[in-house]
Structure 1
Amino acid sequence: MNKRFVMKCGGSTLAALPDSFFEDLRKLQQSGVRPVIVHGGGPAINETLASLGIESSFVNGLRVTTKEVLGVVEMVLAGRINKEIVRKIQAGGAQAIGLSGVDGRLIEAKPAANADEIGYVGEVTNVNAAVIEGVMAMDYIPVIAPIGIDGQGQSYNINADTAAGAVASFLGVEQMIVVTDVPGIMKTADGVKRVLPVVTVAEIEAMIESGEIYGGMIPKVRAAIQCIQGKVREVVIVSGEEPGVLSRAVLEGDIGTRVVLG
């Protein structure tokens, strides 16, 4: 089997996942499936900035990244969170190598269009897929921290959802899995809340408008929509707590919510 998929997960979500999740990851890897993980780490960054007395601010959901903030973002994402995830994967019996987008110019970036407002936040211009392919060819799971680099060696903070979508697209992967703390997008019908198996981007916008999708679920679904770019045709939102969640999402397709363009 030579199936590949990209999984996006928040750093705090991954840290809280049960051991069975990482055992499932090992089984998939042993069966010949090639996972690639792109992670975030917003809560840990907030916590570290606060402990250092550095103020956090956001513009349209993107962290305003001064030079000082960028140093902390890179330290937390590429250092602490990345290695925590690698340790958990290896404790589950699989093999992993942690990378940031700076390594081997893995994620090339340029300043975001509104860089004057948000500072060192980058837009992905290229993903060096050969680096990821090389790591997978050695039977390791690439674990990628979303830091980008430009031709002058300047690093950038990249939104994890955007980075994951770009990695999937440049790898030519059509399906992306977003592991979160909810079983999918829920809809209430006849007084019963059920997970929607498939939902289009237009339907999501209508559900946000009507208030059916609200609160913390809004950024989750918007993040999924952001991942549908280039060759990525669908994003599956699943809960990492479900038994065998990755095997079911990748091999059986009977879990979570598939978000499709239309």
Structure 2
Amino acid sequence: MKCGGSTLAALPGSFFDELVELQRTGVTPVIVHGGGPAISDTLGKLGIESEFVNGLRKTTEPVLDVVEMVLAGSINKQIVRRISTHGGQALGLSGVDGQLIQARPVVNSAEIGWVGDVVSVKSEIVDGVLKLGYMPVIAPVGVDPSGQRYNINADTAAGAVASHLGVSRMIVVTDVPGIMKTVDGVKKVLPSVTVQEIEDMIATGEIYGGMIPKVRAAVACIHGEVREVVIVDGSEPRVLTQVLQGETIGTRIVRMA
């Protein structure tokens, strides 16, 4: 499950109650989270300039220190605390811990800095945490064999973790009900859409504005073993149970063979 840092902060207590309920029934979610707004806020307070290149944060060494501090520190522990206060058991990790997420520089690292692509994920660490009875909460900071840290896009990290765990479905928890399309003058949620259909809808303007990065992020999660991503609104009652039971909720993005 991928959750944006700001989305998680705004989720109702009932969402965390459901997480804990699932854990007690033996369906333990693995959470990968972001935290872009909190990073920007902290950089601003410290007087460190934020710069973006094609939608990705340019990550200099000072920015990287803040990225790790916010993602692996305050955001990660906030999520763990919320799960714990609702009666669940969670363990916070970053991709640096045990070299959980091994990374390498992105192709355009010369202009974007310490941003990484995922090389591999040590799924045995996640499996070990699950066997101990804890819900893994993972911050997307990666590391290479030399110990260099990398800022990794949360969607990229979530897709890689899901794929290395061998799961076929990933849930993206957002603040929107799914991908919308206007039908006879009324906006309706599309129950299912292919990656190609998404690109076509962006080209025709049916998907526009702030929804473009949301759907592109979801598409980025379709990686390796992951064959479908479900975009859901985390404030919807019993949203995770509905997805797991195969009910029609949100939008399923499917990869065609």
1:147-205 deviation digits (Å, cap 9, x = unpaired) = 00000011110000000000000000100000000000011111221111100111111
- Distance in 2 (alpha carbons) for counterparts of 1:238 and 1:47: 26
- Distance in 1 (alpha carbons) for counterparts of 2:247 and 2:198: 20
- Distance in 1 (alpha carbons) for counterparts of 2:149 and 2:13: 34
Aligned position for 2:178: 184
Aligned residue type for 2:172:
V
Deviation for aligned residue 1:235: 0.2
| Segment of structure 1 superposing worse, 68-77 or 184-193 | 184-193
> Identity of counterpart residues, as a percentage?
69
- Distance in 1 (alpha carbons) for counterparts of 2:83 and 2:113: 33
The alignment's C-alpha RMSD in Å is 0.8
Aligned position for 2:229: 235
- Distance in 2 (alpha carbons) for counterparts of 1:111 and 1:211: 33
Answer yes or no: is 1:26 the counterpart of 2:20. yes
Q: Which runs of 5+ in 2 are unaligned?
A: none
Q: Return the match for 1:117 from 111, 117, 132.
A: 111
Deviation for aligned residue 1:211: 1.3
Q: Return the match for 1:246 from 234, 240, 251.
A: 240
Aligned position for 2:145: 151
Aligned residue type for 1:78:
A
Q: What is the total number of aligned residue pairs between the two structures?
A: 256
- Distance in 2 (alpha carbons) for counterparts of 1:51 and 1:251: 44
1:51-91 deviation digits (Å, cap 9, x = unpaired) = 11111111111110000000000000000000000011111
- Distance in 2 (alpha carbons) for counterparts of 1:131 and 1:254: 33
Deviation for aligned residue 1:254: 2.1
Q: Which runs of 5+ in 1 are unaligned?
A: 1-6
Aligned position for 1:4: none
- Distance in 2 (alpha carbons) for counterparts of 1:183 and 1:153: 40
Secondary structure of 1:79's aligned partner: helix
- Distance in 2 (alpha carbons) for counterparts of 1:188 and 1:28: 35
What TM-score does the superposition give when structure 1 sets the normalisation length? 0.96
Q: Return the match for 1:71 from 62, 65, 73.
A: 65
Aligned residue type for 1:13:
T
| Segment of structure 1 superposing worse, 167-176 or 250-259 | 250-259
- Distance in 1 (alpha carbons) for counterparts of 2:185 and 2:148: 53
Deviation for aligned residue 1:255: 1.0
- Distance in 2 (alpha carbons) for counterparts of 1:97 and 1:182: 28
Aligned position for 1:165: 159
- Distance in 2 (alpha carbons) for counterparts of 1:102 and 1:115: 19
Aligned residue type for 1:197:
P
Aligned position for 1:142: 136
- Distance in 1 (alpha carbons) for counterparts of 2:247 and 2:133: 24
- Distance in 1 (alpha carbons) for counterparts of 2:115 and 2:247: 35
Aligned position for 1:86: 80
What TM-score does the superposition give when structure 2 sets the normalisation length? 0.98
Aligned residue type for 1:44:
A
Deviation for aligned residue 1:34: 2.0
